[in-house]
Every structure is written in structure tokens, then in C-alpha cells.
């Protein structure tokens, strides 16, 4: 595994991080979850990305990660970066969602209890909440650091103008925001317009989630929608309506280029992200140890020729 400094900070993150959004909840195979986390760590993945509502059920990914950590990796805590977040609905009532101080402070305490940790390495506000004054959300993050509940803080899914304001508020109180997390992949390039330049100019790390577009940028959908695929299930973020003939045509052309590079479509998609100087790390999900290792293999070649990059842009346009 290779590591990269997170913005202008002294913290290094692995190029590949493991996300626990799916496949680590109480509806999943605990022994498989254990195998994937242990394999990740053995391969040099030191960063594990959680959120309070990951599961299902909400909170169960944190609970299961805590069990695995304390059963197998408790002597390696200082070799790991563990992050969590709060911002989306977690419990019923007016205090279980959003960006209020009430919700964020309760959330980090609950997440620490579920994981059995004394502190997080990074804690994010998971999304911008327009109903809460930005100053309130930011002050909660600042106080988490000063109270020792997290070493660093980050933003996720914030508009560029609000992110800039939040960074400046934190700097004024001598707490630097470390990192920004957002969706970014070959099929979703929106962060390139404002967010990536902003974070680079202000010395923040940029970490990517959904790098394979919920599995679209793999060989799974090259010939349509398989019956057992995530899109076919119809109850997740990926819907059958997302897999249009135009999307299939694009990924088929990208797959031809990947094969010429000696990579799978997934490996090339991750490599394309990692070749971007603004990208610190890519958060991958996994449903098996093999799939995880396939993702790790992407770091073997993330150099692209100008012709390859032009070909990719031509296909996607």
C-alpha cells in the first residue's frame, strides 16, 4: 500500500480506504465482515470509514467494527485511522437528524460507545444542513476536537461556499478542518468544478466515496442488469433507471480501454481517481475478500498516457 499526505497536514492516508456503508451491518455475515477488515489491514489499509447510520440496522456497522477491532486488532489502534460521521437521520424525533449541536454531540458520544473507542481520528459532519446556522455546526466540531473526542474533523456533501466559510471559522479558532469527503467517479464529475479546486487551494485532503458508482463501473452491468445485482433489488441508492443504454454503451467502451491497459474496468476506474493529484484516498466497499483485493490491485498502475485520458473524456462526453 502507498500513502499520501492529507492536504497540507502531517497525516498520511492509504490510497485505498475501506468503507463500511454496506455489508457490515447486523443483517450481514459477521465472519465475512471480520475477514474483510483483517485482510484490509494486512494489506496496508489503515483507514476505516464509518458513519453513525451505517448498517442496516443504523449503528450496527459501528458496533460490529468495534467487536472486530477489540477481538483482533486492539493492539494496533495507534496504527489505524478510524472515522465516523453524523448528519443523516439516526433516531426518531427532532434531535436525531441534521447539523444541530444537540444531534452532533449526542451522535459522537453514541458512536464512541458503539465502537468502544476513546476517540475518533476523524469525525465528519455528514451533510450540510441549511436549517441549522453554520456557526452552530462548526462550533460543535471545534468543541469535539478540544474535548478530545476526535483528533481531526471533516466535511462531507457541503456546497463550496459553505465549505469555505466553515474552513475559515475553524481556522479562526485554531482548529483546521482536515478533509472533505464527496461522491466522485468517472460518471459523476461535479466536484471538479468548484470543490476540488477549493480544497486544494486551502490545503484540505479530498477523499472519494462511491468511486465505482455503486458498482456500475465494474463488469457487472456490461450486458445489462443482472437479476441479483444491486440495481435489480430496487431498494438502494442504485436504481434500474440509472442503468440506461447510454450508460451501458459508455462502460462498454471504457472496458475496452481497461483491457488494453491490462486492468478490469473497476481497477481502471479506481486508478483514474488515484492519478488525480487532488485525491488523497478512495473509499471502496467490498462484499468479499476477493473483491477487496481486486480493488487494492488498482494501485499497481495508476499512470495514464495523454491519449488514454483523452479517450476517457471522449467516451464520457
CA distance 16 to 296: 7
Q: Which three cell numbers stand for residue 154?
A: 471533516
Q: How high is the pLDDT of residue 225?
A: 66
Give yes or no for a contact between 37 and 68, defined as CB atoms under 8 angstroms apart: yes
Q: How high is the pLDDT of residue 221?
A: 77
Three-class secondary structure of residue 18 per DSSP: strand
pLDDT, tens digit, for every residue of 259-303?
999 999 999 999 999 999 999 999 999 999 999 999 999 999 999
- Across the range 130-157, mean pLDDT stands at 98
pLDDT, tens digit, for every residue of 90-125?
999 999 999 999 999 999 999 999 999 999 999 999
Q: How high is the pLDDT of residue 233?
A: 57
Kindly tell me if the per-residue pLDDT of 24 is higher than 60.
yes
Contacts for 226 with CB less than 8 Å, ≥ 6 apart: 220, 232
Omega of the bond leading into 57 within 30 degrees of 0 (cis): yes
- Across the range 184-204, mean pLDDT stands at 97
Kindly tell me if the per-residue pLDDT of 186 is higher than 90.
yes
Supply the pTM of this predicted model: 0.95
Least confident piece of the model among 42-46, 119-123, 248-252: 248-252
Q: How high is the pLDDT of residue 227?
A: 63
Kindly tell me if the per-residue pLDDT of 195 is higher than 60.
yes
Q: b/e string for 139-159 if b means 16 or more Cβ within 10 A?
A: bbbbebbeeebbebbbbbbbe
CATH assignment of 3-219+265-302? 3.20.20.100
Q: How high is the pLDDT of residue 85?
A: 98
The mean pLDDT of the chain is: 95
Amino acid at each position: 500500500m502507498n500513502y499520501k499526505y492529507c492536504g497540507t497536514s502531517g497525516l498520511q492516508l492509504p490510497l485505498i480506504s475501506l468503507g463500511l456503508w454496506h455489508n457490515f451491518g447486523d443483517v450481514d455475515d459477521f465472519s465475512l465482515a471480520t475477514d474483510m477488515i483483517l485482510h484490509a489491514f494486512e494489506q496496508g489499509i489503515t483507514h476505516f470509514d464509518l458513519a453513525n447510520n451505517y448498517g442496516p440496522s443504523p449503528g450496527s456497522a459501528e458496533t460490529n467494527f468495534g467487536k472486530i477491532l477489540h477481538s483482533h486488532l486492539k493492539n494496533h489502534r495507534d496504527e489505524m485511522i478510524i472515522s465516523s460521521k453524523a448528519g443523516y437521520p439516526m433516531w426518531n424525533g427532532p434531535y436525531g437528524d441534521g447539523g444541530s449541536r444537540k444531534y452532533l454531540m449526542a451522535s459522537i458520544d453514541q458512536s464512541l460507545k458503539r465502537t468502544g473507542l476513546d476517540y475518533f481520528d476523524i469525525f465528519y459532519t455528514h451533510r450540510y444542513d441549511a436549517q441549522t446556522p453554520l456557526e452552530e455546526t462548526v462550533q460543535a466540531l471545534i468543541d469535539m476536537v478540544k474535548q478530545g473526542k476526535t483528533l481531526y474533523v471533516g466535511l462531507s456533501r457541503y456546497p463550496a461556499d459553505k465549505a469555505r466559510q466553515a474552513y475559515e471559522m475553524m481556522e479562526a479558532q485554531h482548529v483546521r478542518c482536515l478533509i472533505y469527503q464527496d461522491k466522485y467517479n468517472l460518471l459523476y464529475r461535479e466536484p471538479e468544478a468548484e470543490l476540488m479546486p477549493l480544497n486544494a487551494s486551502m490545503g484540505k485532503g479530498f477523499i472519494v466515496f462511491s468511486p465505482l458508482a455503486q458498482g456500475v463501473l465494474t463488469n457487472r452491468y456490461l450486458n445489462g442488469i443482472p437479476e441479483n445485482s444491486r440495481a435489480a433489488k430496487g431498494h438502494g441508492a442504485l436504481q434500474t433507471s440509472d442503468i440506461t443504454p447510454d450508460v451501458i454503451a459508455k462502460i462498454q467502451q471504457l472496458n475496452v480501454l481497461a483491457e488494453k491497459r491490462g486492468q478490469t474496468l473497476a481497477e481502471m476506474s479506481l486508478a483514474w481517481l488515484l492519478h488525480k493529484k487532488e485525491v488523497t484516498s478512495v473509499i471502496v466497499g467490498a462484499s468479499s475478500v476477493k473483491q477487496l483485493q481486486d480493488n487494492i490491485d488498482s494501485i499497481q498502475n495508476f499512470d495514464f498516457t495523454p491519449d488514454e485520458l483523452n479517450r476517457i473524456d471522449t467516451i464520457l462526453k
